[in-house]
Amino acid sequence: MYKCEWKVVHIASSTRLNPHVWGSKVTSWAALSFSTNLQEVPLLPIKSLVLTIAVMLIASMPGSPPSLAEEQSTEQSTEQSTEQSTEIPAWLQAHVGKGAGQIAPVVLKRARALYRRKVKDGVVKNPCYFSMDATRPSTLRNGKVGRRFYVVCEADKSFRAVFSGYGNGRKLRRANFSNGRRCARNFSNAEGSKLTTGGTYVTAEERTSFKGYYRHRGKRKPLLRTFLLFDGEGDTANARDRAIGGHPAIFLRWRCRYKNPKSAYADKKGFVPYGRLVNYTGGRSNGCTTWSPSESKQILAMVKDNPTTLYIYPEAGDIDAVAGAVKAKKSVSKAGLYWNSACLGAIRSPKFWPKETLQPIINEWRQSLPKAQYRELPICKG
């Protein structure tokens, strides 16, 4: 910014402008001369009068530098324009809040910032983006499934809040980092922790795998479940190594195997696994983001060969800050922090387990397990 104080001192000391300060368009200006009779102004010192006239002439010349007031006005207009471009539109603002089906302000702010950054970088072209609030409960007091995963399409002015599962964790001898069915207390980015990691992700490719056969409307039907991979950064950078992604909240609990040599999924002996389909839409996951089967179809279709961003709240810093406020017996909201009040009351205080701390414990537990023995499924009867 050009300083008025600098301008006066510079002009008083020299009648040639510095092109490096005023801009590349100005190469040199000839010394200024005036025909004014200085003696006709006896009350004004000669140096002051020359200085005053010089400043007035420069200010009126085309291409002269802007005044401080003009610069401040320009800066304010630029700042206002930037604020308006990132301002939450009115239709979306109606969905912002802490009530059921709404998205908390901090969650939306970070989700939008991530999406815009990835669009600017050319990583994402999808008109929609995702976010999740893992501090919210799985079920509400009225027994209904809690909605904490958000699909936002600003171009179409559409907003959807749907259910999503969080990681259930583990209870080991050296550490208990398990989560209850209603609220998540523990979070981690350690491989094998089966916990959710908050932070930034970008959806990647999809992989579909055969899980077995189950009975549907009186017929045996193969279950093919699609898994959407996530790529992360920072605390979520090891998402691929952990096999963290999104998929329908269903799995097959194997019971037996039956002969079906015509099946494309049969083993060398012509058998296929058979079991009971389990829908855990209202439950927990092994660390992945899960949706109901119906919502999964829509979400997976949106990002097929068209990646977008996913922001999951809370991050490690949020967890530590909330835990610190609780320990100090301070109000979380008054401290400028956010956690769903119903779940905070249930878990008392959250905890983030960094992989540097938790990974050695998990590895030790794995080494202590007996060697797995191969067990062949029994033949189905009937």
Predicted local distance difference test score (pLDDT) of residue 109: 98
Predicted local distance difference test score (pLDDT) of residue 374: 84
- Per-chain mean pLDDT for the chain: 83
Question: Are the C-beta atoms of 130 and 113 separated by less than 8 Å?
Answer: no
Tally of CA atoms within 13 A in the half-sphere of 201 that contains its CB = 29
Residue 254 token pair:
């194997």
Confidence class for position 372, pLDDT limits 50, 70, 90: confident
Kindly state the DSSP code that residue 62 receives in the 8-state scheme. T
One-letter-per-residue 3-state SS of 195-212: CCCCEEEEEEEEEEEEEE
Confidence class for position 73, pLDDT limits 50, 70, 90: very low
| pLDDT of 64 above 80 | no
Question: What Cα–Cα distance (Å) separates residue 151 from each residue in 164, 244, 376?
Answer: 12, 19, 42
Predicted local distance difference test score (pLDDT) of residue 373: 84
Choice among 5-9, 109-113, 173-177, 306-310 with the minimum mean pLDDT: 5-9
The amino acid occupying position 77 is S
Predicted local distance difference test score (pLDDT) of residue 29: 34
Predicted local distance difference test score (pLDDT) of residue 274: 98
Predicted local distance difference test score (pLDDT) of residue 63: 47
Instruction: Over range 346-369, report the average pLDDT.
Output: 97
Percent of the residues in the chain that have a pLDDT greater than 90, as a whole number: 73
| Highest-confidence segment of 2-6, 37-41, 71-75 | 71-75
Confidence class for position 55, pLDDT limits 50, 70, 90: very low
pLDDT tens profile 268-307: 999 999 999 999 987 899 999 999 999 999 999 999 999 9
Choice among 21-30, 51-60, 122-131 with the minimum mean pLDDT: 21-30
Helix (H/G/I), strand (E/B), else coil: 5: helix
d(CA 163, CA 123): 27
d(CA 266, CA 89): 53
| pLDDT of 263 above 90 | yes
Confidence class for position 166, pLDDT limits 50, 70, 90: very high
Confidence class for position 174, pLDDT limits 50, 70, 90: very high
Predicted local distance difference test score (pLDDT) of residue 335: 96
Predicted local distance difference test score (pLDDT) of residue 295: 96
Percent of the residues in the chain that have a pLDDT greater than 70, as a whole number: 77
Residue with tokens 């999740």: 132
Choice among 24-33, 132-141, 220-229, 255-264 with the minimum mean pLDDT: 24-33
pLDDT tens profile 24-50: 333 333 333 333 333 333 444 444 444
Predicted local distance difference test score (pLDDT) of residue 86: 66
Domains and CATH numbers, the chain: 4-81 (no CATH), 100-368 (2.40.440.10)
| Cα–Cα nearest to 204, from 105, 323, 124 | 124
Instruction: Over range 117-123, report the average pLDDT.
Output: 98
Choice among 22-26, 82-86, 142-146 with the minimum mean pLDDT: 22-26
User: Which residue did the predictor score with more confidence, 71 or 333?
Assistant: 333
User: Which residue did the predictor score with more confidence, 19 or 228?
Assistant: 228
Predicted local distance difference test score (pLDDT) of residue 40: 38
Question: Are the C-beta atoms of 46 and 38 separated by less than 8 Å?
Answer: yes
Question: Are the C-beta atoms of 203 and 328 separated by less than 8 Å?
Answer: no
